[in-house]
Amino acid sequence: MPFNTLVAVSLVYVLFLFLVAFIAERRARRGRLRFLYSPWVYTLSLSIYCTAWTFYGAVGSAARSGLEFLTIYLGPTLVFIGWWWVLRKLVRIGRTQRVTSIADLISSRYGKSNLLGVIVTLMAVAASTPYIALQLQSVTLSFGVFAADTPQFWELPNQSAAALWIAGGLALFTILFGTRNLDANERHHGVVTAVALEAIVKLVALVAVGIWVVWGLADGVGDMLARIDASTLATWQLEPGRFAGFTFVSAAAVLTLPRMFQVLVVENTDERHLVTASWAFPAYLLLMSLFVVPIAVVGLERAAPGANPDLFVLTLPLSEGWGRLALLAFLGGFSSATSMVIVAAIALSTMVSNHIVTPLWLALSRGPAERGDVRGLVLTSRRLSIAAVLAMGYGYYRLSGGSEALASIGFIAFIGAAQVLPALIGGIFWRGATHTGAAAGLIIGFAIWLYALFLPSVGETGLMSAHMMDEGPFGLGWLRPQALFGIEGLDPLIHALVWSLMLNTLAFLILSMLSFPGPVERLQGVAFVNVFEGRSGARGWSRGQAEAEDLLSMAQRILGAQEAQLFFQAQAAGQGIRGFLPDPTPDFLAALERKLAGSVGAATAHAMISQLIGGAAVSVQDLIAVANEAQEIKEYSAQLEAQSDELARTARALRAANEKLTSLSVQKDAFLGQISHELRTPMTSIRAFSEILMEPDLPEPVRAQYAEIIHEEARRLTRLLDDLIDLAVLENRKVDLNISVANLHDLINRAAHAASSTRPERAFRFERDFPTEHMAVFTDTDRLVQVFINLIANARKYCDAEAAVLRIEVKRRKNRVQIDFIDNGAGIPKAQQGLIFEKFARLTDTSKAGGAGLGLAICREIMANLGGTIDYLPGQGGAAFRIVLPLRRRGDEPGRAG
Amino acid sequence: MARKATPLFLARRSYRRHRLMDAARLLPILGVVLIFLPGLWHPADAGRAETASALIYFFGTWAVLIGLAGALARGLAPALDAEDEAEGSVPATRGEA
End-to-end CA distance of chain A: 72
Please check whether residue A43 touches B, CB under 8 A. no
Q: How far is B46 from chain A (nearest CA, A)?
A: 7
The Cα–Cα gap between A438 and A504 comes to 9
Nearest to A188, CA basis, from A375, A391, A382, A354: A382
Q: For A168-177, A306-315, A470-479, A661-670, which range has the lowest pLDDT when averaged over its residues?
A: A470-479
Asked if residue A62 is part of any domain, the answer here is: yes
Mean pLDDT of A354-379: 72
Spatial distance between the Cα atoms of A842 and A41, rounded to a whole number of angstroms = 58
The whole-angstrom separation of Cα A110 and Cα A108 is 6
User: Hey, is the C-beta of A300 within 8 angstroms of any chain B C-beta?
Assistant: no
| Res B89: pLDDT | 37
Count the Cβ atoms, other than its own, within 10 Å of residue A715. Answer: 11
Q: What is the pLDDT of residue A434?
A: 92
Residue B64 lies in a domain: yes
Give residue-wise pLDDT tens across range A197-212.
999 999 999 999 999 9
CA distances from A446 to A439, A450, A497 (A): 10, 6, 11
Q: pLDDT for A75-128, tens place per residue?
A: 999 999 988 889 999 998 988 888 888 999 999 899 888 899 999 999 999 888
Distance CA A828, CA A871 (A): 13
User: Where is the domain boundary, A714, A731, A748?
Assistant: A731
Q: What confidence score (pLDDT) does residue A307 get?
A: 77
A863: left (phi over 0), alpha (psi -120 to 50) or beta: alpha
| Mean pLDDT (whole number) for A243-267 | 91
Mark which of A575, A604, A629 sits at the end of a domain.
A629
Cα–Cα distance between B6 and B14 in angstroms, integer?
Answer: 12
User: Is residue B84 included in any domain, yes or no?
Assistant: yes
The answer to whether residue A229 neighbours chain B at the CB level (below 8 Å) is yes
Question: Are residues A657 and A625 part of one domain?
Answer: no
Shortest alpha-carbon distance between residue B8 and chain A (Å): 25
Judging contacts by C-beta atoms under 8 Å, the chain A residues touching residue B73 are 275-276, 278-279
Count other Cβ atoms within 10 Å, centred on residue A445.
28
- Please name the residue of chain A whose CA is at the shortest distance from the CA of residue B45: A237
Tell me: pLDDT of A543 over 60: no
Q: Which residues pair with A872 in a beta bridge?
A: A881
In a domain, B59, yes or no: yes
pLDDT at A423: 94
What is the CATH number for A698? 1.10.287.130
Separation in Å, CA of A83 to nearest CA in chain B: 8
**In angstroms, what CA-CA distances link A15 with A124, A407, A700, B19?**
30, 30, 88, 50
**Enclosing domain of residue A553:** 537-629
User: Is the Cβ pair B49, A230 closer than 8 Å?
Assistant: yes
List, for residues A808-843, the tens digit of each pLDDT value: 988 888 788 889 998 888 888 877 777 788 776 666
| Subunit contact A81:B66, Cβ cutoff 8 A | yes
Whether residue A603 contacts residue A362, with contact meaning beta carbons closer than 8 Å, is answered with: no
Site from B51, B74, B96 to mutate, A interface, most A CB atoms within 10 angstroms:
B51
User: Which has more pLDDT, A556 or A89?
Assistant: A89
**Contact map slice: B 30-69 vs A, CB within 8 A:** 31-32, 35-36, 38-40, 42, 44, 46-47, 49-52, 54-56, 58-59, 62-63, 65-69
CA A175 to mean position of chain CA atoms: 14
DSSP letter, residue A888: B
Q: Considering only CA atoms, which of A172, A137, A173, A177 is closest in space to residue A156?
A: A137
> Is residue B29 domain-resident?
yes
Residues A784 and A719 in one domain: no
Q: What is the residue type of B39?
A: G
In this prediction, residue A691 carries a pLDDT of 86
Chain B's closest residue to A242, CA to CA, is: B39
Q: Based on the domain organization, do A163 and A224 belong to the same domain?
A: yes
Chain B residues near residue A228 by CB distance under 8 angstroms = 51-52, 55
Instruction: Please indicate if any CB of chain B lies within 8 Å of the CB of A247.
Output: yes
In a domain, B44, yes or no: no
What is the DSSP annotation of B41-80? H--S-TT---HHHHHHHHHHHHHHHHHHHHHHHHHHHHHH
Helix (H, G, I), strand (E, B) or coil at A880: strand
Domain that holds residue B27: 13-39+49-88
Map A553-575 to HEC letters. Answer: HHHHHHHCHHHHHHHHHHHHHHC
The predicted pLDDT at position A125 comes to 92
Please count the other Cβ atoms lying within 10 Å of the Cβ belonging to residue A737.
17
Q: What is the DSSP letter of A44?
A: H
pLDDT of A623 higher than 60: no
Determine, yes or no, domain membership for B6.
no
Q: Same domain for A94 and A15? A: yes
pLDDT digit string (tens) for A801-814?
888 888 898 888 87
DSSP bridge partners of A657: none
pLDDT (0 to 100) of residue B94:
36
Q: Is the pLDDT of residue A403 over 80?
A: no
Distance CA A750, CA A796 (A): 16
pLDDT band at B6 (very low <50, low <70, confident <90, very high): very low
Task: Check whether residue A342 and residue A286 sit in a common domain.
Answer: yes
What φ, ψ does residue A883 adopt, rounded to 5°? -105, 130
pLDDT at B64 over 50: yes
* pLDDT, tens only, A566-599: 888 888 888 777 777 777 777 777 788 878 777 7
Q: Which of A255-264, A793-802, B47-56 has the lowest mean pLDDT?
A: B47-56
Q: With contact defined as beta carbons under 8 Å apart, do A199 and A43 qualify?
A: no
Task: Please provide the DSSP assignment of A502-560 as one string.
Answer: HHHHHHHHHHHHHS---HHHHHHHHHHHTGGGSS------PSP---HHHHHHHHHHHH-
In a domain? residue A430? no
- Give me the pLDDT at residue A471, please: 66
Number of domains in chain B: 1
Whether A824 and A704 share a structural domain? no
Q: Which residues, other chains included, contact B79 with Cβ-Cβ below 8 Å and sequence gap of 6+? A: B17, B20, B21, B85, B86
Note whether B35 contacts A228, CB cutoff 8 Å.
no
Helix A548-559 crosses helix A374-399 at what angle (to 10 degrees)?
40
The answer to whether A80 faces chain B, any CB pair under 8 Å, is: yes
Predicted pLDDT at B2: 40
Q: What percent of chain A has pLDDT over 90?
A: 16
Q: Say which DSSP state A735 is in.
A: P
Q: Is the pLDDT of residue A722 over 60?
A: yes
- Asked whether residue A660 falls in the same domain as residue A692, the answer is yes
What pLDDT sits at residue B96? Answer: 34
Q: Choose among B36, B39, B66: nearest Cβ to A283.
A: B66
Residues A727 and A791 reside in one and the same domain: no
Both A129 and A12 in one domain: the answer is: yes
Query: Is there a single domain that holds both residue A694 and residue A755?
Result: no
- Lowest-confidence pick of A155-169, A252-266, A441-455: A155-169
Which of A237, A532, A639 minimises the CB distance to B42? Answer: A237
Element (H, E) at A635: helix A631-694
Residues A655 and A599 in one domain: no
The predicted model gives A38-58 an average pLDDT of: 88
What pLDDT, on a 0 to 100 scale, did the predictor assign at position B84? 40
Tell me whether residue B97 is in a domain: no
Any idea which of A458-467, A596-605, A780-789 has the lowest mean pLDDT? A458-467
Contact A770, A729 (CB under 8 A): no
Res A847 pLDDT > 90: no
Question: Does A601 fall in a domain?
Answer: yes
> Quick check: is A401 in a domain?
no
CB A520 within 8 A of CB A606: yes
pLDDT tens across A410-431, in order?
888 899 999 999 999 999 999 8
Q: Does the pLDDT value for residue B5 go beyond 50?
A: no
Looking at A440-449, A682-691, A757-766, B41-50, which range is the least confident one? Answer: B41-50
Confidence band for A502, pLDDT divided at 50, 70 and 90? very high
pLDDT band at B91 (very low <50, low <70, confident <90, very high): very low
Mean per-residue pLDDT for A698-725?
83
* Residue A137 included in any domain: yes
Inform me whether the pLDDT recorded for B31 exceeds 70: yes
pLDDT value, residue A102: 92
| Domain-located, residue B4 | no
Q: Flag whether residue B90 sits within 8 Å of chain A, measured between CB atoms.
A: yes
- Considering its fold, how many domains does chain A have in total? 4
Quick check: A229 and B80 CB within 8 A?
Answer: no
Q: How far is A117 from chain B (nearest CA, A)?
A: 31
Q: Give the nearest partner residue to B65 out of A81, A271, A532, using CB atoms.
A: A81
Q: How far apart are CA A722 and CA A718, in angstroms?
A: 6
Q: Write out residues 152-211 of A within 8 Å (CB-CB) of B.
A: none
Query: Which residue type, as a one-letter code, is found at position A832?
Result: Q
DSSP-based three-state secondary structure for A818: strand
Nearest to B39 among A240, A282, A286 (CB): A240
pLDDT-derived band at A256, boundaries 50, 70, 90: very high
Region A438-446: what's the mean pLDDT?
94
Asked if B28 and A282 come within 8 Å (Cβ–Cβ), the reply is: no
Please give, rounded to a whole number of angstroms, the shortest distance from the CA of A282 to a CA of chain B.
Answer: 7
Q: Do residue A798 and residue A726 come from a single domain? A: no
Mark yes or no for CB contact A278/B25 under 8 Å.
no
Q: What CATH code is carried by the domain that includes residue A28?
A: 1.20.1730.10
Q: What is the mean pLDDT of chain A?
A: 81
Q: Is the pLDDT of residue B29 over 90?
A: yes
Of the pLDDT bands very low, low, confident and very high (cuts 50, 70, 90), residue B82 is low
Establish if A450 belongs to a structural domain: no
Choosing from A680, A696, A731, the residue where a domain stops is A731
- Contact (Cβ atoms closer than 8 angstroms) between residue B17 and residue A84: no
